[in-house]
Amino acid sequence: MPSISTGIEFPQLSPLEICGLITAVLGLLYWRWRSNPLHSIPTVGPSLPILSYYGAWRYLRDAKGMLLEGCSKYEIFKIPLSDQWLVVVGGPKMNDELRKYPDETMSALEAHKYVLQTEYTLGTTHPDATAKKCIGGPLTRKLPQIMPEVVDEIAASFEDIVGGSKDEWVTVPALEAMTDIIARVTNRAFVGLPFCRDKTLIKTVVGFAKDVMKTKTILNMIPNFLKPIVGHRLPWTSAARRRMAAILGATVNERRRQMIEYGTEYEGKTDDYLTWVIEEDLKFRGKGDSIDGVMEVISASNFAAIHTSSMSMTHALYYLCAMPEYIEPLRKEAEEMIKVHGWTKAAVDGMWKADSFFKEALRLNPAAHLTLFRKAMKPIVFSNGTVIPTGTMVVATTTGTHLSENLYEDAAEFKPFRFSDVRSKGGDDALRQQFHTSSPDYIPFGHGKHACSGRWFAAAEVKAVMAYILLNYDVKLQEGGARPANVYVGPSIIANPWAKLMFRKRKSAHA
Ligand code: HEM
C-alpha cells in the first residue's frame, strides 16, 4: 500500500520522554481536578477529568439511578453534565434551605437563563415575571368565574378531538389527544373564543415547547461569546410568536388602544387573561406600538402550562386504565359533587379522591427528576458545611425526594388515595394533602417563592377533565394490561407517547 505523506514531521521521542510527557499531562489533569472549587462535594459517577464525560453520558440514560444513588449516600452531591457540574440537594431539609435563599444569593432567573436560554427562547421582556403575576394573581383568584368557560371548552374539545358514540369505541393517541384538549381548554382561559379553537394557534402553542428545546439545545452547545450572535438568528421561537401575532394582533392592538385612550378603567373593558397581560405589558414597556411583549407572555404562559398539565392528565389516565377498580369510586365522587354544586370550582374542590389521585400520579411522575433550579450569585454555605462557589448551578430532586421511604410509606407504590385518606381524618395535616400544596416533601411544582403559580389552575383543570371523562365515557387502554411505561431522557420524564386510549360514550352520560 502506498504511504501517504502529511508533510508534518513528528519528533522522535525516547520511551523515557514519552513516560515523562504522559506523567506531565496526568499531573496537569490531576491539578485541575484538585483545584476545581467543587472538588470537596461528593460525586455520583466518576469525577476524574475525561472520565466525568462517562458520568454525563450515564446521566442522559439513567438520571434516576444516579440521583437515587446520590440521595442514598449524601445530603448534597454533584453530577457531571457535558459542560458543567450540577450540585444536587437531596431530601426535605436541604430542599427547604435551597428555596429559602433570596434571589440575590441563589437566582432562579439566572438559572433559567442557562437551562432554557430564556433570552433567546422566551424573549427579552421577562415574560415569565408578567405571566407569574397574571397567573398567580387574577387567573387564580377568578377561577370560580373562569370554570364555566373551562368546562364548556372541555365538552367542545372532546367532541372535536375524541368524538365517539354510545355504540362504538374510538381510539386516540393518548398523549397527543390530551395535549390538544389541554391546549384548547387552557387557551380558552388565556385568549378566549374564538382564538382557542383556531387550529394554527393551537398547533403553534403546542409546538412552542419543541421550538424552545431546539433553540436551547443548540445554544447550550456553543460558547457564551457566540450566543448573542447565533441566538437571535435561530428562527423558531420568534417565528412562532409572529404566527400568534397574525391571529391575535388585531384584538391585542384594539384593547391596547382603548387602554391608552381611556385609562385602565372604562365601560365594556374585558376582564380576561389577555387583557390583564396587555395591562401589565403597558406598565412595563410603556405605550409603544409593539405587541411583541404581549406575544412573549402568551407564548411563555403556554410553555409553562400545556405540556406539564397534559403529561399529568395522561399519567393519571394510564393509572386509571391499568387499575380500573378506581373508576367507580372516582365516578361516584364526581357525580355527587356535580349534583350538589354543578360544574363549578366548588365541585372540583370537593373531589378529594381525584385530587389525591393526581397528586399521587405526579409524585411518581413529575415532569422532571429535577426542580428548584438556582444559580449561586455569591458563595454560600449550607447548614451541613457544604460550600457552594459563585456561579454553581444547584437543584433539588423530585425523584430523590418523592421516593424516600422516610417520607412516604411504600414510596415506589401508586396508592391513589394516599393523600385523601389523611385529609379526610382532618387535623392540622389535612390541608397540606391538597394537590396544589407544595412542601419540602412534595416538590413537583417546585417550592417557595418561585413555585408554579399555575398550580391552582392546573389542579382545577385536570380534575374537571377527569370528571368529564368519568361521567361521559368508558375508557380503556387499547393494548389493555399494565400502565404504559414512561420515556426517560436525561432529567425529563415523559408519559408514554405511543400508547392509545379507547373511549366509548356512556349510555347515561351527563355533560
Ligand atoms: C401539573 C401541571 C404543572 C406542573 C407539574 C408544573 C410545574 C412547574 C414547575 C416545576 C415550575 C418551576 C418551579 C421552580 O423553578 O422552582 C413551574 C413554574 C411555573 N409554572 Fe407550572 N406547572 C404546571 C402547570 C402550570 C400551569 C397550568 C400554568 C399556567 C396556568 C403554570 C405556570 C407556571 C409559571 C408562570 C411558572 C413560573 C413561576 C416563577 O417563575 O416564579 N404551570 N411549574
**pLDDT tens string 319-340:** 999 999 999 999 999 999 999 9
Number of domains in the chain: 1
Strands 85-89 and 106-107: unpaired
The Cα–Cα gap between 190 and 298 comes to: 8
Mutate to test the pocket of ligand 1, among 402, 445, 450 (most ligand atoms within 8 A of CB): 445
Q: Is residue 9 part of a domain?
A: no
* pLDDT at 286 exceeding the cut of 80: no
Residue 1 vs residue 308, higher pLDDT: 308
* Ligand 1 atom having least distance to the Cα of 449: 41
Q: Which pLDDT does position 417 carry in this prediction?
A: 98
Residue 112 CA, ligand 1 centroid: distance in Å: 13
CATH number at residue 244: 1.10.630.10
Q: Which atom of ligand 1 approaches the CA of 372 most closely?
A: 16
Residue 158 in any domain: the answer is yes
**Within-domain flag for 367:** yes
CA distance 52 to 235: 34
Instruction: In whole angstroms, give the CA distance from residue 30 to residue 41.
Output: 16
The Cβ of residue 138 has, within 10 Å, a number of other Cβ atoms equal to: 18
Count of C-beta atoms within a 10 Å radius of residue 288: 11
Structure confidence at residue 78 as a pLDDT band (50, 70, 90): very high
Binding residues: 452
Residue 35 included in any domain: no
Cis check: omega of the bond before 194, within 30 degrees of 0:
yes
**Which of helix, strand or coil describes residue 487?**
strand
Cα distances (angstroms) measured from residue 167 to each of 270, 324, 356, 505: 43, 20, 32, 8
- Write down the pLDDT at residue 427: 86
Whether 8 has a pLDDT exceeding 60, the answer reads: no
* Closest ligand 1 atom to Cα of 190: 30
Predicted pLDDT of residue 125: 76
The best mutation among 313, 452, 463, 466 to test binding of ligand 1, ranked by most ligand atoms within 8 Å of the C-beta, falls on 452
Tell how far the Cα of 20 is from the centroid of ligand 1, in angstroms.
55
Q: Which residues are annotated as a binding site for heme?
A: 452
- Which residue has the CA at smallest separation from atom 43 of ligand 1? 452
Q: Whose CA is nearest to atom 37 of ligand 1?
A: 452
In a domain, 20, yes or no: no
Amino acid code (one letter) for 41: I
Any idea which residue has 424552545 for its cell?
A: 212
User: By three-state DSSP, how is residue 492 classified?
Assistant: strand
- What percent of the chain has pLDDT above 70? 94
pLDDT in tens, 111-144: 999 899 999 999 877 778 899 999 999 999 999 9
Q: How far is the CA of 168 from the centre of ligand 1 (A)?
A: 38
- Please tell me the distance between residue 108's alpha carbon and the centre of ligand 1 in angstroms: 13
Task: Decide which of 82 and 114 is more confident.
Answer: 114
53-63 pLDDT, tens digit per residue, is: 777 888 888 99
Counting ligand 1 atoms within 8 A of each CB, the residue from 126, 130, 308, 365 with the most, and so the one to mutate, is 308
Question: How far, in Å, is the centroid of ligand 1 from the Cα of 132?
Answer: 9
Share of the chain above pLDDT 90, in %: 79
Task: Give the confidence band of 493 by pLDDT, cuts at 50, 70, 90.
Answer: very high
Report pLDDT digits (tens) over 405-461.
999 999 999 999 999 999 999 988 898 999 999 999 999 999 999 999 999 999 999
Residue 1 pLDDT more than 60? no
Distance between Cα 241 and ligand 1 center (Å): 21
Q: Using CB atoms within 10 Å of the CB of residue 341, give its burial: 0 to 12 exposed, 13 to 18 middle, 19+ buried.
A: middle
Band of pLDDT at residue 7, cut at 50, 70 and 90? low
Of 3 and 291, which is predicted with more confidence?
291
pLDDT of the residue at 56: 81
Output 241 or 61, whichever has higher pLDDT. Answer: 241
Predicted confidence at residue 24, as pLDDT, reads 65
What is the 304 CA–ligand 1 centroid distance (Å)? 6
C-alpha of residue 305 to centroid of ligand 1, in Å: 7
pLDDT at site 220: 85
Instruction: Output the ligand 1 site: residues, CB below 6 A.
Output: 108, 128, 131-132, 135, 301, 304-305, 308-309, 312, 367, 371-373, 444-446, 450-455, 457-458
> Residue 60 falls within a domain, yes or no?
no
Which residues does 229 contact at the CB level (< 8 Å), separation at least 6?
none
**Helices marked H in 162-235:** 174-190, 199-220, 227-231
Bridge partners for 85 per DSSP: 80
Residue whose CA lies nearest to ligand 1 atom number 40: 450
The mean per-residue pLDDT over the stretch 343-356 comes to 98
Looking at residue 4, what is its pLDDT?
A: 46
The structure's pTM equals 0.92
Position 46 scores a pLDDT of 72
pLDDT of 510 over the 60 cut: no
Average pLDDT value over all residues in the chain: 92
pLDDT (0 to 100) of residue 2: 43
Per the structure, the complete domain to which residue 205 belongs is given by: 83-505
**Phi and psi based region of residue 264 (left: phi greater than 0; alpha: psi -120 to 50; beta: remaining):** alpha
Closest Cα to atom 9, ligand 1: which residue?
A: 445
Of residues 16 and 306, the one with the higher pLDDT is 306
pLDDT digits (tens, 9 = 90+) for 373-413: 999 999 999 999 999 999 999 999 999 999 999 999 999 99
